[in-house]
Amino acid sequence: MPARFEDLPPETKALLIERYGKPRSPRWKWVALFVAIIALPWLLWTAWFYSNPEIRTAPVRYETLDDQNISLSFELTRRDPASEVICTLIALDIDKNVVGEIELAVPAASEESILVNAKIPTRLRAVNASVDSCRLA
């Protein structure tokens, strides 16, 4: 069984220090513990915060009505249903250029998740529509 450095006779310690250098203290363990105490709560908070946004949207369907209009239906989920939300909706043409954009005010509701229908006027024929962003009013 190997002997611990502290348990060795002084002349053996001196010989080992001369040959291999002074043994390092385990400072890295304290640094690792400090990092773990700071990093772990931050990591958990970040994972929860970004996986549960205040406002979440999911497209349901879009339909080209004519050369100047497209309709968009999307599901809007918000943590606080009593808050009003303003969503920016965009319409895209075949080349993915924005050909229509509106800001839609979604009033407060009694449910967290609601289905929103909107009509977006366009300057050219649109082939796609989506929710660009949503924010609290």
What range does the domain containing 120 cover? Answer: 55-136
The dihedral region occupied by 109, where left means phi > 0, alpha psi between -120 and 50, and beta the remainder, is: beta
Looking at the fold, whether 26 and 66 belong to one and the same domain comes out as no
How does pLDDT run across 101-125, given as a tens digit for each residue?
Answer: 999 999 999 999 999 999 999 999 9
Looking at the fold, whether 80 and 21 belong to one and the same domain comes out as no
Looking at the fold, whether 71 and 118 belong to one and the same domain comes out as yes
**What is the dihedral angle through the alpha carbons of 71, 104, 125, 128, rounded to the nearest 10 degrees?**
-70
Looking at the fold, whether 61 and 33 belong to one and the same domain comes out as no
Number of domains the chain is built from:
2
pLDDT confidence bin for 126, thresholds 50/70/90: very high
For residue 82, give the DSSP letter.
Answer: T
CATH assignment at residue 81: 2.60.40
Amino acid 119 reads K
User: 102 burial class (0-12, 13-18, 19+ CB within 10 angstroms)?
Assistant: middle
Q: Is 127 helix (H, G, I), strand (E, B) or coil?
A: coil
Other residues' Cβ atoms within 10 Å of the Cβ of residue 90: 19
| pLDDT value for 124 | 95
Is pLDDT above 90 for 27? no
Q: Among the listed ranges 13-22, 45-54, 76-85, which one has the minimum average pLDDT value?
A: 13-22
Looking at the fold, whether 129 and 83 belong to one and the same domain comes out as yes
- Per-residue exposure over 53-76, b if at least 16 CB sit within 10 Å of its own CB, e if not: eebebeeeebeeeeeebbebebeb
Average pLDDT of every residue of the chain? 92
Looking at the fold, whether 27 and 69 belong to one and the same domain comes out as no
Looking at the fold, whether 47 and 62 belong to one and the same domain comes out as no
